[in-house]
Homo-oligomer: A and B are copies of this chain.
Amino acid sequence: MTEVDDIDHALLRLLRQDARRTFSEMAEKVGLSVAAVKRRVDRLRDIGVITGFTAQIDYAKLGWGIEAFTELRYAGSAPVSEIIRTATVAPEVQAIYTTAGDPDALVSIRARDMRHLQQVIDTLRRAGNVTGTKTLMVMDVWTRSDVDPSPPTRPSATTRPQPAQRPRP
């Protein structure tokens, strides 16, 4: 089954912090051989705990300075697939969260400027049977760098302090 032990959790934390870490570095940190670490990481991917590795990008530096969340309301009971289909029409949509209750979905949007954002929202409104939108402009974002994927059996009331980000060599 999906058995993930403490060492696996340590590896997950290390890879969350820096996905391009070498197996050798991780091996040293968790006290295993390089081969063992590779096997574990391969297994974490195989069982679907690790779904991928991605680069984090500062979109503002690329000219996409506007970030927003838009709540979508649909007429009647739109199925999830329908919601995702309609919200996918705009390439500026980064992510879609279908939700229970009101609203029906929350979409994350990246745009170059307010005019562009307005166009995206218009597109969403026309894309399906969207009955209403409400948009939240994001001013500032804070993301937890040290995510704590501790086992659910251990209640983990507090966060562990995390060593500073590894400086680039």
Contact = CB atoms under 8 A, between A and B. Distances in A.
Interface of A: 2, 4, 12, 15-20, 45, 47-59, 61-64, 67, 69, 80, 84, 87-88, 91, 93-101, 103, 106, 112, 136-145, 147-149, 151-153, 156, 158-159, 168
A91 B143 contact: no
B80 A140 contact: yes
A151 to B, nearest CB: 6
Q: Describe A's contact surface by its main secondary structure.
A: mixed
Given A49-B62, A158-B91, A168-B45, A140 B57 contact: no
B84 A149 contact: no
B49 A149 contact: no
Nearest to A12: B57
Contacts of A49: 57-58, 61-62
